Structure 1
Amino acid sequence: MNRLKIIAVGAAAALALAACGNDAKSDGSSDGALNGAGKTLNVLVQANTIYPQQQKQWFTDTSNAFKAQTGAEVKFETFASANDELTKIQTSVVSGQGPDVYSLGTTFTPTAYATGAFLELTDADWQKAGGKDSFVQATLGISGPDDKHQVGIPFTSRPFVMAYNTELLKAAGIDKPADNWDGLREQAKKLTTGGTYGMAIAYADGFDPWKFIWAMSVQAGNPLVAGKKASLDDPATVKAYQTYLGWLATDKVVDPAAVGWKNAQAIAEFGAGKAAFLPMVSATSKVTLDKSQVAGKYAYAIMPTIPPGATSLPGGGVGATSILSGDNLVVAKYSKNKDLALALVKLLTSPDQQKAYYKTFGELPTNAAAAKELQADPALAAIVDSASKAHGTPFNGGWSKVQLALVNVVVQSIPDLKAGKVDDGHLRSLVSAAQKDAQSAVDEAK
């Protein structure tokens, strides 16, 4: 019995026990209105390292609003990394207790779905959550394996783009960012001078590195996972790692200090005018950059869609600008307060809440009405364009572990980066180990 099946079987037993004595109408009062007085919903979300104080305030404001609406409290807890996220899912599923609502990165939704431990949404459930038609339909693309089997309710949309310093590019005689990764590297070399570097890259971030490798791989025609086969050791993916790591080690277009940077530090470096390009950022960066030294001196562009070593998209390549990115809300089957949980989802995805969330954190709305209002903002044009050209990661129960394997190659390469090199033999051995871990995860998945 594979690991995901063990998790699912354990979850089924725990959920059966949790269901005993659980009245499906326990959230309702005699007049049919929700009555959550004396109840607490537990919600798990990713810690926001860019806006930590604003997130704490959002926790308080959300709990107050929901209490005023239903009488129920909302208690938030956070996870710090993708590994923490996966661990929390696994332990909660096996024990049959934990958060009522999880905010999961879209790429983790397949893992949640594979456990069988999260609410598969019926038409009635969707109505309680605000109605499926109220969402931007593209954001539903990774809610489940198909539109009849969905667990994820879109909360935020986070297509990735590249910010660039318009003044630095103009001074260097560069009209616009290159549409291929090799061209971007050459532009970055030209823009690296004195204390200014061509790129700001967060090599130590737990979420960013794998997205570069994924993008370059699918652009070259390697999807990384197809059916029951992982292909992390494909030459195109090895080339992607060499390119990504080489920006710092061999091309010298990234500040050596970036080996220890998280996403917030890379944004800060670009905001200080010390880097010309800031790849792999979302609209969340706009809140910071509009208050930085580069306010009014930067713009967004879609990232290169032509892989390293090529000048045009090769046969079989996918011109993906971004993963289909954002956060989905999922409700645990073991929750004794499912109707309250769906009511909270409805609140969080309402137009006013989504617009307020965007203004605070820069996360694009998934609510269709709120998203439509932002389309007229010219500063978001490239981000909207990227959203339309984004490509979903494989909907495979093992993908979360594949993702971690991709990141681990970069983590294990940090000592070489600190020494200012990319050891090709060492890199290939790391990729080989990642391939074994990825194939094992895919084999184990349902």
Structure 2
Amino acid sequence: MKTRRLKPRTLVGAVAVIALAALSLQGCAVVDGSGDDPDTLRVMMGADTTYPKERKQWQQETAAAFKRTTGADIQWETYSTPQEELTAIQTSVISGQGPDVYAIGTTFTPTAYATGAFVEMGADEWDAVGGKDQFSPASLGISGPSASKQIGIPFASRPFVMAVNDELLERAGITEPPTTWDQLTADAKATTGDGTYGMAIAYADGFDPWKFVWGMAQNAGNTLVDGTTAEIDTTAVEQAYRTYFDWVTKDGVVDPAAIGWNNPQALAQFADGKAAFFPMTTTTSLNSLQGSKVDGKYSYALLPTVPPGATERPADGIEAASILSGDNLVVADYGTKQDLSFAFVRQVSAPAAQERYFELFGQLPTNAEAADRVATANPDLAPIVRAGELSKPTAFTGAWSDIQLSLVDVVVQSIPSLKRGEVTDDQLRARLAAAQRDAQSTLDRQKNGGL
């Protein structure tokens, strides 16, 4: 495998991406260490606050196997927030040094692609990681702008669903999970009381809030980005945020403490039997629920796909049960260790390795053989498998990461108002107008920069 270097035009593109994002990002990632050591591969992944012990165990096992097969060591590096994730990519791209392999969220793949700083996968590259056909076709849906231009190698799949406390629903006389967002609100009201809440939500989480808004907007026919035009300051998006905020203020179906919660705290509330629904979760919740108070009393169900205020999806509505979610591995184009990088990817993409990752973290394999084995052995995961089939990708634009952060920022700015008990219409519309301006500005700069 020949070594690749950033071309001048690529570096210009990278600078443009950094410039357009710098205004909104102040994260700081852990990027240090091995430098040019030819016997150490630097791998950056998201920190795992839900399963830190399992993460350490997996890293030790993976590094030991890598040492046996290649003679090289692995230096693990982490990011903890989307801001840190993007900053790490930007810093490495502009400096031409950094981690050799990144595990990035699927929605960040378009931004990584726009930098031109990661290896584009051709026939030789796919062969080096064990073959493109080993991966489930759906998992390749956000690897690049087209089937012939891809940088993302599928690593883990995390379709979003709801965890449902079957016992609480039965007690309330609810026999079927809701299929519309209004039904979910009504069912949450029916299951609130006697020390339990209808929903476990994490308003302060850096990753979750925008997914609710994206899903509801998609169901209403709004994709948030139409080509080079942002569509955030719209009725559909406003109604999505209003629904999301009203759950904790007007409807009273969410514990007010959840305004300050991250995802693990919301999961803990559901695991303790104190919430009927835990929407926007994945199979990563499996291990936490095993042995909990709801073990044997819960199931998974699809998220609603009919937008707020409607009883059926409109003609232009999208049956987006989930974002196309998970992690892609990308290999740095600026380094000299592509051979080691592809050896690492090949190792963690093998069926046994993928099944081990599922065992430790509950994340579905992207390797088709491993995915089939997991689905056969775990029939209760059928709704999650179905959610994966109904998943839709976010817009493939280098501006998406900034747009995603703008969507989260609407919630961040609203936290004080939520704590006071109300986000007014004027406040919400002003924040959406600001997010629209920021998103459109990012899209315009990307277009003008030729990315």
TM-score, normalised by the number of residues in structure 1: 0.92
Query: What is the distance in 2 between the residues matched to 1:229 and 1:38?
Result: 44
What is aligned with 1:131? 131
**What is aligned with 1:16?**
none
Q: Which residue of 1 aligns with 2:386?
A: 385
Give how far 1:337 is off. Answer: 0.7
**What is residue 53 of structure 1 aligned with on the other side?**
53
Question: CA-to-partner distance for each residue in 1:188-212, whole Å, 9 max, x for gaps?
Answer: 0010002100000010110000000
Secondary structure of residue in 2 paired with 1:401: helix
Q: Match for 1:8 among 14, 38, 44?
A: 14
Q: Paired residue for 1:17? A: none
In the alignment, the residues of structure 1 paired with residue 193 and residue 70 of structure 2 have an alpha-carbon distance, to the nearest angstrom, of 58
Residues 164 and 277, structure 2, Cα contact 8 Å, conserved in 1: yes
- Is 1:40 paired with 2:40? yes
Q: CA deviation at 1:37?
A: 10
Distance 1:76 1:37, change over 3 A: closer
2:234 alignment partner in structure 1: 234
Shift of residue 432, structure 1, vs aligned partner: 0.8
Alpha-carbon contact 2:13-2:116 (below 8 Å) kept: no
Report if the CA contact (8 A) 2:157-2:326 is conserved: yes
1:67: which partner in 2? 67
Aligned letter for 2:100?
D
AA aligned opposite 2:226: A
Question: Judging changes above 3 Å, is the alpha-carbon distance between structure 1 residues 426 and 373 closer, same or farther for their aligned structure 2 residues?
Answer: same
Distance 1:123 1:427, change over 3 A: same
2:148 aligned partner = 148
Question: Which residue pairs with 2:426 in the alignment?
Answer: 425
Q: How many residues align?
A: 419
* 1:438–1:324 CA distance, 2 compared to 1 (3 A): same
Distance 1:168 1:57 in 2: 36
Q: What's the counterpart of residue 31 of structure 2?
A: none
Tell me the SS of whatever aligns to 2:90. helix
Mapped contact 1:37–1:71 kept (Cα < 8 A):
no
- Does the CA-based 8 Å contact 1:42-1:101 persist in structure 2? yes
Q: Tell me how far apart the structure 2 counterparts of residues 142 and 38 of structure 1 sit (CA, whole Å).
A: 31
Whether contact under 8 Å (2:13, 2:114) holds in the other structure is no
Distance in structure 2 (CA, Å) of the matches to 1:68 and 1:444: 47
Q: Distance in 1 between matches of 2:363 and 2:244?
A: 26
Say whether the 8 Å CA contact 1:45–1:104 is kept in structure 2.
yes
Q: What are structure 1's unaligned runs of at least 5 residues? A: 12-35
3-state secondary structure, aligned to 1:147: coil
Decide whether aligned partners of structure 1 residues 5 and 224 sit closer, same or farther in structure 2, where only a CA change above 3 A counts: farther
Describe the shift of the 1:220–1:38 C-alpha distance in structure 2 as closer, same or farther (beyond 3 A): closer
Q: Deviations over 1:39-90 (max 9, x none)?
A: 0000110011110121112111111110011000011111011111111111
The 2-side partners of 1:144 and 1:319 are apart by: 22
Amino acid at match of 1:383: I
Q: How far has the Cα of 1:291 moved from its partner? A: 2.1
Q: Counterpart in 2 of 1:91?
A: 91
Distance 1:7 1:210 in 2: 27
SS of residue matched to 1:396: coil
What are the equivalent positions in structure 2 for 1:27-426 lying under 5 Å apart? 39-376=39-376, 377-426=378-427
**Counterpart secondary structure, 2:300:** strand
1:52 and 1:428 map into 2 onto residues whose CA distance is: 39
| Residues in 1 aligned to 2:437 and 2:65: alpha-carbon distance in whole angstroms | 48
Cα distance in structure 1, aligned partners of 2:158 and 2:310: 27
Contact 1:7–1:93 (Cα < 8 Å) also in 2: no
Distance between the aligned counterparts of 1:182 and 1:196, measured in 2?
20
Could you give the per-residue CA deviations for residues 249-277 of structure 1, whole angstroms, max 9, x where no partner exists? 11000000001111111111000000000
Where in structure 2 are there 5+ consecutive unaligned residues?
1-9, 18-35
Which amino acid counterpart does residue 403 of structure 2 have in structure 1? Answer: V
1:8, CA displacement in angstroms?
Answer: 2.3
> Which 4+ runs in 1 deviate beyond 6 A?
none
- Shift in Å at residue 401 of structure 1? 0.4
Tell me if the contact between 1:10 and 1:95 (Cα under 8 Å) persists in the aligned partners: no
CA contact (8 A) 1:188 1:197 kept: yes
The Cα of 1:148 is off from its aligned counterpart by 0.5
Contact 1:38-1:71 at 8 Å conserved across structures: no
Cα deviations across residues 77-126 of structure 1 (Å, max 9, x unaligned)? Answer: 11011111111111110000000000000000000000001000110100
Give the distance between the partners of 1:131 and 1:37, measured in 2 at CA. 28
- Measure, in 1, the Cα distance between the counterparts of 2:171 and 2:181: 21
Contact 1:82 / 1:207 at 8 angstroms: preserved in 2?
A: yes
CA contact (8 A) 1:250 1:422 kept: no
Partners of 1:318 and 1:381 in 2: how far apart? 21
Asked if structure 1 preserves the Cα contact closer than 8 Å seen for 2:213 and 2:241, the reply is yes
- Cα distance in 2 between the residues matched to 1:5 and 1:351: 37
The percentage of aligned residue pairs carrying the same residue is: 55
What is the deviation of 1:443? 1.4
TM-superposed deviation, 1:442: 1.3
The CA distance in 1 between the partners of 2:195 and 2:344, in whole Å, is: 48
Paired position in structure 2 for 1:26: none
Is contact 1:44–1:78 with CA below 8 Å preserved after alignment? yes
Q: State the distance in 1 between where 2:445 and 2:70 align.
A: 42
CA distance in 1, matches of 2:425, 2:157: 36
Deviation at 1:5, TM superposition (A): 7.4
CA distance in 2 between counterparts of 1:178 and 1:64 reads 46
SS at match of 2:141: helix
Instruction: Check conservation: 1:7, 1:94, Cα contact below 8 A.
Output: no
